[in-house]
Amino acid sequence: MPCPSPRDMQSDIHLIGSGQTRFGELWDKGIRDLMEEATDAAINSSPCTALDIDMVIVSNMLAEVTNGQAHLAAIASSLLPHHPPAIRVESACGSGAFALHTACAMLESGRARNVLVIGVEKMTDVSVDTVASALMGAADSEQERPAGLTFPGIFGLITQRYMHEYGLTRDELSLVSAVHHRNACENPFAQFRLPVTPDAVTKSAMVSNPLRLLDCSPISDGAAACILSTEHAGAARLVASQIASDSLSIVDRPTITSFSATKDAAERALAEAEITLKDVRILETHDCFSTAALINLEDLGFCDPGEAIGIYHNLWRGGSPLDGARGRLPALGVNLSGGLKGCGHPVAATGIKQLIDVSKQLQKTGDRYGLAHNFGGAAATCGIHILESIS
Ligand code: COA
Q: What digits encode the pLDDT tens for the residues 270-319? A: 999 999 999 999 999 999 999 999 999 999 999 999 999 999 999 998 86
The pLDDT score that the predictor gives to residue 11 is 82
pLDDT, one tens digit per residue, over 72-87 is 999 999 999 999 999 9
pTM of the model: 0.96
pLDDT number for residue 319: 63
Report d(CA 124, CA 141) in Å as an integer: 23
- Is 288 noted as a catalytic residue in this protein? no
Sheet of 280-284, strand order = 86-89, 55-59, 114-122, 221-229, 13-20, 236-245, 381-389, 369-376, 280-284, 333-334
C-alpha to C-alpha distance for 355 and 350, rounded to whole angstroms: 9
Q: What is the pLDDT of residue 321?
A: 63
* Topology annotation, domain 13-127+220-229: Peroxisomal Thiolase; Chain A, domain 1 (3.40.47)
Q: How many CB atoms lie within 10 A of CB 101?
A: 22
* Contact status, residue 184 vs residue 345, Cβ threshold 8 Å: no
The residue whose C-alpha atom lies closest to atom 7 belonging to ligand 1 is 218
Separation of 132 CA from ligand 1 center, angstroms?
11
Q: Ligand 1 center to residue 355 CA distance, Å?
A: 25
Below-50 pLDDT ranges, the chain: 1-4, 6-9, 324, 326-328
Looking at residue 322, its pLDDT comes to 58
pLDDT value, residue 329: 58
Q: How far is C-alpha 367 from the chain's CA centre?
A: 20
To which H or E segment does residue 182 belong?
helix 170-184
**Residue bearing the CA closest to ligand 1, atom 47:** 288
Q: What's the CA angle centered on 227, arms 360 and 373, to 5 degrees?
A: 55
Identify the active-site residue in 93, 104, 343, 382.
Answer: 93
Cβ pair 216, 207 in contact under 8 A: yes
Sketch the domain layout of the chain as residue ranges.
13-127+220-229
- Which of these is catalytic: 101, 180, 286, 345? 345
Strands 114-122 and 221-229: antiparallel
Residue type, 368: R
* CA 11 – ligand 1 centroid, Å: 43
Ligand 1 centroid from CA 218, angstroms: 5
Whole-angstrom distance, CA of residue 43 vs CA of residue 36? 10
**Pocket-testing residue among 128, 248, 288, ligand 1, by greatest number of atoms within 8 A of Cβ:** 128
Q: Which atom from ligand 1 is nearest to the alpha carbon of 138? A: 48
Q: How far apart are CA 100 and CA 113, in angstroms?
A: 14
State residue 237 phi and psi, 5-degree precision.
-110, 135
Alpha helices in 274-382 (DSSP H): 290-300, 308-317, 339-343, 347-365
Q: What b/e string do you get for 165-187 counting C-beta neighbours within 10 Å, with b at 16 or more?
A: ebebebebbbbbbbbbbbbbeeb
The C-alpha atoms of residue 391 and residue 345 are separated, in whole angstroms, by 30
Closest CA to 120 of 292, 321, 352, 311: 352
- CA distances for 353 relative to 96, 117, 268, 383, angstroms: 8, 11, 22, 13
From 130, 203, 219, the mutation candidate for ligand 1 (largest count of ligand atoms within 8 A of CB) is 219
Ligand 1 site, CB within 6 A: 93, 128, 132, 135, 151-152, 192, 207, 213-214, 216-219, 288, 345
Enter the DSSP assignment of 3.
P
Residues 6+ apart with CB under 8 A from 311: 297, 302, 303, 321, 322, 325, 334
Cα–Cα distance for residue pair 287/16, rounded to 1 Å: 27
Which atom of ligand 1 lies closest to the CA of 132? 39
